[in-house]
Structure 1
Amino acid sequence: MEREELIKKWLNNELNPQELEAFKKLKDYKELTTLSNNLTRFKAPEYNVQEGLNTVLQNINTSKKESKTHWLRPVLRIAAIFAISFSVYYYTTTLDTNINTLAAQKTTIELPDASNVSLNAKSHLVYNKSRWDKHRDVTLEGEAFFKVAKGSTFNVKTKHGIVTVLGTEFNVKQRDDYFEVICYEGSVKVTHNSDIVILKPGNSFLKIDGKLIAKEKETSLYPSWINNESYFKSMPFEYVIREFERQYNVSINPQNIDLKQLFTGSFSHNNLEVALKEITLPLDVTYNFKNKSTIELTRD
């Protein structure tokens, strides 16, 4: 990957582990990180860069004509440096931080208040460091497990609803027509359209295709995917397949199989062959590899 592309992705906090190692090997890695650290120590006053530059240029134009040749060029240089410096500072301190995981990838990040977020495969998290002291807000697409440090209100925004807490542990899963929140510690307020629900430890809120689904009380201390396993209790088989595709970065083509049939069981994230047996044997389904990344499921 080109040096400029690595730096751009670094500024946007979009480097994956392999790209981060490549970025650390750049000759100017130390200078770039030092500059970034120094910039974050300063808080820029409210200042209109364009207005400031216009003022400088206006002063230049109204000055005595005979003196222009002596100081015009240095002033222009200073004005340009001034404008660029503020632009760089604004750019580097107000950007949203974007965290993405690919299929078969998980990651854990620490937020500015020491809260921790574990992202499941094919998930996207967005937050803003510069506004974090006033607004502890994150936007989520996919699935994440949160350990929230106590403090001001913490909001997880999804396209299906908002999860609000003060300090607790909970899991949010938002995938297409699937929205689920499980509280593991503390309490969680879930706002979904006209529904407002307060969850206590072990309680869940689940909607599939807009329908509220009742679930048994959760007894585990954290979601199973944290330990590289996906567990399902009376879940339509199509959702099992979707999760399998995310965890193994494969495409599954079901043939003559009822995807609405309910599945109870689990599959591991560490062994493709074993995992395939775990989801097919209970339903008397067979599988065949069409190629390295495409699997066909059939029922005899």
Structure 2
Amino acid sequence: MNREELISKWLNNDLNDQELEAFKTLEDYNDLVKLNSGVQAFKAADYNVSAELETVLKTIKTTKKQPTHWVKPLIRIAAILAICFSLYYYTTTLDTTVTTQFAQKTLIELPDNSSVNLNAKSLLAFNKSSWKNERDVTLEGEAFFKVAKGSTFNVITKSGTVTVYGTQFNVKQRDNYFEVICYEGLVGVSYNSQETKLKPGDSFLIIDGEQIAKEKENRSTPSWLNNESSFNSMPYKEVVAEFERQYHVNITLLNIDSNQLFTGSFAHNNLDVALKAITLPLHVTYSKTNRTITLKRE
């Protein structure tokens, strides 16, 4: 049985066991399966295949009589191919989206061999089909980028856009928080229609709409890649928010100023040790109930 017959019978759920095994050996088997999955969610706007086919068949019947035993299968195959083509175009032009959950990190390889380390509770999206023309990614959360040299590479966030040509940098975009740190190369940060150039060790930080000056970064990579979150004169609320993301807990503050500055760090692999790291320096006590933690100053 040839390829077209196998595909036609597969679309009709009419394959026997032997034919199914033959179908699985097709080079584009995986692509066909993806298309089949997409059919479940696909709905062509204002187009009813059955109705249109019925109209075509009625038209054929009213024309001059001639052998038409091949017409129905041909039209059916044409309709199936049209749907498959539409689905293929639809699915291949969709963005690829990668998300991480609480206490989860992941490494993403982009089409040009650039790599992205995605921190906990973050989202990265990009389009493979347009990648050769536009190396654009959308970020919600925090990520460390190692960008392969080539055309312009843009990281688009709700707060601003980061543009580079080949470098290593970290972007963190959270609620009322936007930070870019350059570790290698040159980075351009567009914020409120103004661009700031960052060289290795330079940072750009916005908290609650206000630009904050930072000391020179002396690390070669962000600390979170080594399962540790470090802070230098950061508002305590940012420390708490990052703690919640890394340990999937809810933290309540009692009699604590969430805007007081904190300098220190906590590890991502031991909850109790991490809690002591963010409470002892501020003389704060804590209590735990399931996944809820209360920090309190007497």
TM-score scaled by length of structure 2? 0.81
Cα distance in 2, alignment partners of residues 149 and 68 from structure 1? 61
Cα distance in 2, alignment partners of residues 95 and 31 from structure 1? 27
Structure number with larger C-alpha Rg: 2
Deviation per residue, 1:54-97 (Å, 9 max, x gap): 89x76983673423752331122221221122023213311110
Structure 1 288/210 Cα, relative in aligned 2: closer, same or farther at 3 Å? same
Kindly report the root-mean-square deviation, in angstroms, between the aligned alpha carbons of the 2 structures. 2.8
One-letter identity of the residue aligned with 2:277:
E
Q: Does 1:231 align with 2:225?
A: no
Q: How many residues get paired?
A: 263
Cα distance in 2, alignment partners of residues 39 and 90 from structure 1? 14
Q: Superposition pairs for residues 140-219 of structure 1, below 5 Å?
A: 140-219=139-218
Secondary structure at 2:69's aligned position in 1?
helix
Aligned counterpart, 2:294 = 296
Q: Superposition pairs for residues 112-151 of structure 1, below 5 Å?
A: 112-151=111-150
Aligned counterpart, 1:220 = 219
Dislocated runs of 4+, deviation >4 Å: 30-34, 37-40, 57-60
Cα distance in 2, alignment partners of residues 123 and 218 from structure 1? 23
Q: Does 1:105 align with 2:104?
A: yes
One-letter identity of the residue aligned with 1:73:
K
Deviation per residue, 1:131-157 (Å, 9 max, x gap): 100000000000000000000000000
Structure 1 73/38 Cα, relative in aligned 2: closer, same or farther at 3 Å? closer
Structure 1 293/31 Cα, relative in aligned 2: closer, same or farther at 3 Å? farther
Maintained 8 Å contact 1:286/1:297: yes
Identity of aligned residues (%): 62
One-letter identity of the residue aligned with 1:142:
G
Aligned counterpart, 1:3 = none
Structure 1 gap ranges (5+): 1-26, 41-49
Cα distance in 2, alignment partners of residues 231 and 93 from structure 1? 40
Structure 2 gap ranges (5+): 1-20, 35-45
TM-score scaled by length of structure 1? 0.81
